[in-house]
Structure 1
């Protein structure tokens, strides 16, 4: 009798064991769920971090692209500036070369007065040059590059009628003469360029008023004058 009761009790699981099993299962489930939640949380954090890194990388790439474009633009602008500077220098050199090889009027602002070949009581012979009516002190420039062969009072040796005068020898064998000057700024033997200041206009010598007397000669001396207006026209200078 007692053995049977013992057998029956051992065959049935006790209530406490059942409860323990349920509790264990519950704890296990909680642990599994907790692990899942932790994994989910960890996955969310990793995703957020990846997005943030990607955004930062994109921002750096954009900045690098902007800087690269700015550098390229600056390099292009510098290159264009250099090209323009070189072109300007070439043009300036060409203009200087052209000026050196060309002729020009001996003064910039003027009124033409007595012309070549004019006769009258004012001259012992016909007028040997072209007069440019200008105020005293007007800058007188070399009509062409050359070497000064006469410079001084008494017409530089051609006589007192010319007052203070300068004569320049040019490479084409012609000579230019500038007379009635108030001031001489060059000396004999000096080389001058086209357009270089050589004197100031005046009213010295046989002069009826302030002006520049200009001649083109075949020799450095009086008596060899050509029509200066016609000559200048032949070298592309119109008065």
Structure 2
């Protein structure tokens, strides 16, 4: 008769089995934990990226707004500069036009002496112009723009009584004459503008002292003079 032998797992086998089960459980826990960690790590960067994107978008919008404001200011400044330049140019043009159309005194800081048609022993008949008493060497200016038609000694052809003289032709048949000059600084044919230096005052010719003899004429020659003070008054000059 045979005896039935029942085999029992050895202690070593049981320990191995238990270790395997334990390892499997720990593996599952590790996998589960890793998944949770991965999910957490994936969620956290997404929130951070979204915030960064929003911050960058806000910064870009602010920069764009600032650039737009700066561009608008630059455009406005450029427009203002162009308008200012245009206004300055227009003012200069208007001033030049006004100057070209205006008349002035032929000298500054003067004292009126002998007047037009004044009688006296120094003139052949009566005085033919207006005398401006000024020191010798005073700047003499063109009373109005025009062309020099006479310039030289002997009254520029009108006689020695005038000394050194200049005659300028203006528009509308008007001429101005400057006499008793110590120096002549223009030539016949030269175009001059209102206020331009043309000579220095003096005491040449038939003169009792340094002054400028000034005439307004209807021709370039002696004998056609009109009252220069009344003429200048009509032109708005306060002599």
Aligned equivalent of 2:152: 152
Q: Give the gaps of 5 or more residues in structure 1.
A: 7-13
Aligned equivalent of 1:9: none
Aligned equivalent of 1:41: 41
Work out the number of aligned pairs and report it.
Answer: 231
1:192-207 to 2 correspondence within 5 Å? 192-207=192-207
- Secondary structure of the equivalent of 1:214? strand
Q: Which moved more, 1:213-222 or 1:62-71?
A: 62-71
Aligned equivalent of 2:137: 137
Q: Give the gaps of 5 or more residues in structure 2.
A: 7-13
Shift of 1:148: 1.8
TM-score, with length taken from structure 2: 0.84
1:48-69 CA deviation, whole Å, 9 max, x = no partner?
2332233234323323332332
Whole-Å separation in 2 of the counterparts to 1:142 and 1:84:
32
Whole-Å separation in 2 of the counterparts to 1:109 and 1:81:
40
Shift of 1:19: 8.2
- Secondary structure of the equivalent of 2:121? coil
Shift of 1:176: 0.7
Q: Which moved more, 1:129-138 or 1:47-56?
A: 47-56
2:144 is the alignment partner of 1:170: no
Whole-Å separation in 1 of the counterparts to 2:65 and 2:117:
78
Whole-Å separation in 1 of the counterparts to 2:107 and 2:63:
62
Shift of 1:77: 0.8
2:188 is the alignment partner of 1:188: yes
1:140-162 CA deviation, whole Å, 9 max, x = no partner?
12112222221100111111111
Shift of 1:229: 0.6
TM-score, with length taken from structure 1: 0.84
Shift of 1:197: 1.9
Aligned equivalent of 2:64: 64
Q: Which moved more, 1:147-156 or 1:185-194?
A: 185-194
Shift of 1:200: 1.6
Q: Which moved more, 1:75-84 or 1:65-74?
A: 65-74
Whole-Å separation in 2 of the counterparts to 1:42 and 1:221:
109
Shift of 1:20: 6.0
1:101-120 to 2 correspondence within 5 Å? 101-120=101-120
